[in-house]
Each structure stands twice: as structure tokens, then as C-alpha cells.
Amino acid sequence: MSKIDITLKDGAVRQAEAGTTLQEIAEAISRNLAKSALVAKVDGQTVGLRHKLEHSAQVEFLTFDDAEGKDALRHSASHILAQAVKRLYGSVKLGIGPAIANGFYYDIDTAHTFVPEDLEKIQAEMEKIVKEDLPIERREASREEALRLFDEMGETYKQELIRDLPEDAVISLYQQGEFVDLCAGPHVPSTGRVKAIKLQSLAGAYWRGDQHNKMLQRIYGTAFEKKSDLDTYITMLEEAAKRDHRKLGRELDLFSIQDEGPGFPFFHPKGMIVRNELENYWRKLHVKYGYQEIKTPIILHQRLWQQSGHWDHYRNNMYFTTIDDEGYAVKPMNCPGGILIYRSQHHSYREFPLRTAELGLVHRHELSGALHGLMRVRSFTQDDAHIFCLPAQIKAEIKGVIDLFNTIYGTFGMSYHAELSTKPEKAMGSEEVWEEATAALQEALEEYGMPYKVNPGDGAFYGPKIDFHLRDSIGRTWQCGTIQLDMQMPEKFDLTYTGEDGAKHRPVMIHRTCYGSIERFIGILIEHYVGAFPAWLAPVQVKILPITDRHLDYAEKLAADMRTRDIRAAVDDRNEKIGYKIREGQLEKVPYMLVVGDKEAESGTVAVRKRGHGDMGAMPAADFVAAILAEIAAKK
């Protein structure tokens, strides 16, 4: 047999016989690689380890640490789920079963109504299939052969999927033991590689997401390579459930979502305090970083959105109205309004960089099934900024934005990582302009010394972007800040400035947000802090607890004095025992409680209880005020 060259990721070249499987190549390299590899990339295409190499190629082995490795393992787990269900419930019909973020699901059509107790039985059967260590083998079939096979199996949904494939499509089947499924793959080599499985929940799902189709039953689960990793993940989910911002939002009286406005949050007085503090902090910081605040209208004429490209690229997510028999749209983004302000006067190169910032209310139509508390809403405030600059200023401005992000995220005790997203399939502008813009972002990141990963094809339709993913206190990541470099909008709106040579030139436009959405950021902070906001953000910073009614005057005097110093102080004047008042304050997650009785009233002191620390002892009231003011100012 002929020899072929295998070029590995590190540049090393190995030889093998043509027809050797990737699994055999991994085993020849090292036993550890053979044990950890789940799939591989061959010349950039992800394939299973049973794939035979017939020609020289570049090969990269992928483990559970790689996104493709996770997907392959979890996709294989979905097939194990479907096999277990067929073993247990007989004549079920299968829909689809993909890997998803953090797990997998399978949609099933059966007369049996699944209940949570069934998940234990199904999982036990899945674990049997894992122990059987069945090879997961791929084969290709003709359209006619595949249709005949799934007709014999009574799998009508699979037949529908096959008929909808292009005529020249390669139809691949995967088999493990008695179970065969229609699937593009790839999968791990055998069921035994899926070491740790957990079925999690049940839901309904319309076939192919169409409400006119039949409702199927969806089983969700997750899978990991190691049981210890699964246990850690389940613990994190339990912790996340305690932190659910929707539950805490109700308990702490911060916000609500009403039936009369699905996806449109209502902020209650305490929630408005948190929101206003975030906005105040944002404003002060933006003044420091050289931004000017603007405000643009919520409703603007249809022709603006046609000119910006949103009409063609974003119309399905927009809301519309008619005014004086002409079409208008509720803004889904702030940038066209910011452009109109720029265009309202002439500009010189001497003004650049020109930084404008806006807390702009936007509306986007989200499907009702996608709505989720403050995390996914239809109405939210973006903390947008638009920087107009010279091409030579791009990198310096992007690094300045990263500095600003570091300051903001550090204030909340959150680390982050950056992702560079490149040209999507549907995009405005020439390839050359996209390459120039992408290179500018990449160089700025590298000069700043910031690690990043590339997300091919995930940019905005008008330019590449850097997304910032925050890590919260239990390790979850949230996409918040973004920097988008735009060389399209200035062209579309004919934006110009007068250059040093006296001629007209085109500015570069940078879009960026720090919080992303204030509503979503508040939801993230509620979960990050478990509702126990730091003193500077807390709706009630100090609660004063008089032991009896005769101490009420002293308590009210203390509160009034604190309020004159902008400390949010409240008095619990209820005729309740002091222990009860303390427990209530703890449930409300108040940073400080001050117990006052005869001794405190006579000496001008307060008995301090600090959240998370308990009784801190007595101190002069003036000393406490000075200490909390310093804590608030430092945003500890």
C-alpha cells in the first residue's frame, strides 16, 4: 500500500499507510492521545476517528477541551438517548437530536407521555448502552436506500428530512448495535466514550419549530467525559437555580414582567435605584474617557432604516407604525440616530476622535419562547457609543475602549475573555474593506496583549467585532460588551470630514457597548451577587432597627442624617422583636443593619451588623457614617 504524509498541528509530519484510520494514527502517536481524542479535523473538516485517510492531509486531533470534541460527545449522547427510548418504549418516532450549548436533546413522537420519573429509567438504559461500548459506525446510503430503510422502521420524520435534502446531498447513517439514525455526524468512536450522562428535563417542541406541525416531546440532557466534571456542572446548575434573577427579582421587589407586556420589563422603586446607580457610574466614567452624551428618537422614518441596511437585514426583528400615512419603525439599534447627529454639522479632522455615547431605548421582536426574565427581552436600553475617527486612530481608540471595559468589569469583580468575529455570510461591503477592518481589530488586540479567539462568520452585517464574555462568580460566561468596526455606514450615509489637505474624507465609525443591555446586565449582577449587591448598588444600604418604640426618635434622627449625606437608610419601625427584624433584614440582603437601644441612644453609637459577618460591635454613629461613605465612594 502507498504511504501518505500526516501533518500534525505542531507541524510534525508522520507517515502511514493509505487507508489507516485516524484512531490508529492517534494510537501510533501516543496512548494518551488515543484515549483523549474524540474526533479530528482533516484539512479543516471535522470527522470521526473511524475515518480512513486515503491521501496526505493536515490532521488535528480534538478532545473534550475543544468545542468540536464536546459537540461530538454530546451528539453521540443524543443517539444513545434515542436508542434507549426505542428499547424501552418500542414504536416511537424520532425527530432530531442535536448537541446544543452545554448538552443535547432529542425530539420524540410517542403515545406515551413522558414524566420526570421516566428520565431515571431512560438514563439507566443509556448507562447500559455505554457499558456495552457499541462501535458507532458511519456509512453512506443512496436516497432510495435511506427512504426504504426508514420506511421499514416507521420513521416518517426521517423520511421527510431525507426528501428535503438537495438531490446531490451525501446521505450518511450512523449505527450502534441495533440502532440506526440519519445523521451528518461526526460521532465519537463508540458508546463507551460517553462516560458521564445526566438527563435533565422535559419540554414540548413543534416539529421543525413550526407551530402548525405536531408537538413532539423533547428530552434534554448533558454529557461529560468525566463524572467529576458532570458533578461540578450539576452543582453549578443547583447554585445557578438559587441565583435565578427572576426569583430574586420578585423576592427583592426589583422588577417584574407582566402579562400585559411580555418581554417588556417593569422596574420597581428598588430596581430603579440599582439601574440609576449603574447609569450614574456609566455617565461619570464616560466623561472621564472623553465622551459626549446624546439622545436620539425611538421612532424614525422607514427610509432611514432602508438606507442603513436594517430594512434588508433586520426587518423580522423590528416593530413598525404609520404616521401621517408614511412608514416609520421603532429603532432596534441606536447607530442610525447617532449618524444623523454627526451629519447635522460639518466636521474637521481636528475634532477627531469624536466620541458620542447614548443610553438608548431600543425594541427588538423576540419570539415568545425565547423570552427570559431580563436576559432576553423585547425592550432594553443599550449603552451605545459611536466613535468617529481617522484610520490612523483606530487602534488607539480600540485600546482606549478596552481600558474602559477593564475599569467597568473590574468594578464588579468580573474577569472576561475576548472573541473576534469575522465577516458573516450576508454582509455589506467589499472583501477588501472587511479584511482591512478585521486586521485593524486583530492588531489592536495583539498590541494590547489581550488573548482572544476567532469566531469565523459571526460579525455584524456591517463590520467585524470583538465581543467580551464576562465570567461571573460561579464560572458562567455572559456576552456583554462589544466593539464593532464599521466602514460601511459612513459610506451609506455619505459621512465626511474636512482633512488637513482641505478635501473631504470618509471617517471610520466604531460602535461599542460596555453593559450591552442595562436590563440584561442587571440580571447578570443579580445572579453574580445572589441579590446581595455591594453597598454602593444596594437599594437600601443601611437599615436601622430600634429595639422598642422609645428608641424610634433616635433611629429616625440617624436615618435623616444619613439621607442628607446620600446614604440610602431606612428605619424598621414595626412593633416586632429585634431578632425578627434582623432576620427580615438578612432576607432583604441589606449590607448594614444598625441596632439601637438605650445604650446607643445615650452614647450616640450604633451596634453594627454587617451582611455576611454578623455582629461587628458598637461604634460612634459618626464613625460608621464615615466608613460607609468611604466604602460607597470606593465601590468596594
In the predicted structure, residue 331 carries a pLDDT above the cut 80: yes
pLDDT bucket at 250, cuts 50 / 70 / 90: very high
Give the chain's mean pLDDT: 93
Please identify which of the residues 71, 384, 467, 486 carries the catalytic annotation: 384
Please identify which of the residues 331, 465, 476, 611 carries the catalytic annotation: 465
Percentage of the chain modeled with pLDDT above 70: 100
In the predicted structure, residue 122 carries a pLDDT above the cut 90: yes
- Mean pLDDT computed over 104-115: 95
Q: Do 364 and 483 share a domain, yes or no? A: yes
Q: Do 358 and 457 share a domain, yes or no? A: yes
Please identify which of the residues 193, 286, 364, 378 carries the catalytic annotation: 364
pLDDT score of 1: 59
Cβ 441 vs Cβ 455: under 8 Å: no
Q: What is the pLDDT of residues 169-201, one digit of tens each?
A: 889 999 999 999 999 989 999 999 999 999 999
Q: Do 294 and 438 share a domain, yes or no? A: yes
pLDDT bucket at 26, cuts 50 / 70 / 90: very high
Single-letter amino acid code for the residue at 108: I
Cβ 326 vs Cβ 300: under 8 Å: no
The domain that contains 290 carries what CATH number?
3.30.930.10
Q: What is the pLDDT of residues 269-310, one digit of tens each?
A: 999 999 999 999 999 999 999 999 999 999 999 999 999 888
In the predicted structure, residue 336 carries a pLDDT above the cut 70: yes
Q: Do 354 and 385 share a domain, yes or no? A: yes
The domain that contains 217 carries what CATH number?
3.30.980.10
The answer to whether residue 536 is domain-embedded is: no
The answer to whether residue 250 is domain-embedded is: no
Active site includes 364? yes
Q: Do 233 and 336 share a domain, yes or no? A: no
What's this model's pTM, rounded to 2 decimal places? Answer: 0.80
Please identify which of the residues 511, 528, 609, 611 carries the catalytic annotation: 511
Q: Do 98 and 175 share a domain, yes or no? A: yes
In the predicted structure, residue 10 carries a pLDDT above the cut 80: yes
Q: Do 85 and 34 share a domain, yes or no? A: no
Q: Which three cell numbers stand for residue 238?
A: 443547583
Half-sphere exposure of 494 (CA within 13 A, CB side): 3
Reported in sequence order, the residue ranges of 22-73 that DSSP labels E, i.e. its strands, are 39-42, 45-48, 52-53, 57-62
Single-letter amino acid code for the residue at 93: K
Active site includes 511? yes
Q: Do 91 and 39 share a domain, yes or no? A: no
pLDDT bucket at 554, cuts 50 / 70 / 90: very high
Q: Describe the strand order of the beta sheet including 319-323 as a list of residue ranges.
A: 299-301, 326-330, 319-323
- Mean pLDDT computed over 605-619: 95
Active site includes 270? no
Q: How many domains does the chain have?
A: 4
pLDDT score of 359: 97
pLDDT score of 636: 87
Q: Do 283 and 428 share a domain, yes or no? A: yes
How far apart, in whole angstroms, are the C-alpha atoms of residue 280 and residue 172?
A: 57
- Mean pLDDT computed over 118-139: 96
Active site includes 386? yes
Please identify which of the residues 51, 75, 181, 335 carries the catalytic annotation: 335
pLDDT bucket at 432, cuts 50 / 70 / 90: confident
203, 237, 271 — which closes off a domain?
237
- Mean pLDDT computed over 315-321: 93
The answer to whether residue 509 is domain-embedded is: yes
Active site includes 514? no
pLDDT bucket at 427, cuts 50 / 70 / 90: confident
The answer to whether residue 248 is domain-embedded is: no
Vertex 280: Cα angle to 278 and 282 (nearest 5): 70
- Mean pLDDT computed over 370-397: 93
Q: Do 387 and 424 share a domain, yes or no? A: yes
Please identify which of the residues 51, 74, 286, 386 carries the catalytic annotation: 386
pLDDT bucket at 437, cuts 50 / 70 / 90: confident
pLDDT bucket at 485, cuts 50 / 70 / 90: confident
pLDDT score of 2: 85
pLDDT score of 309: 85
Q: Do 450 and 316 share a domain, yes or no? A: yes
Please identify which of the residues 23, 83, 217, 382 carries the catalytic annotation: 382
209, 237, 265 — which closes off a domain?
237
Domain around 565: 542-634
The domain that contains 54 carries what CATH number?
3.10.20.30
Query: Among residues 258, 384, 378, 385, which one has the least CA distance to residue 318?
Result: 378
Q: Do 495 and 362 share a domain, yes or no? A: yes
In the predicted structure, residue 459 carries a pLDDT above the cut 90: no
pLDDT bucket at 426, cuts 50 / 70 / 90: confident
Q: What is the pLDDT of residues 558-572, one digit of tens each?
A: 999 999 999 999 999
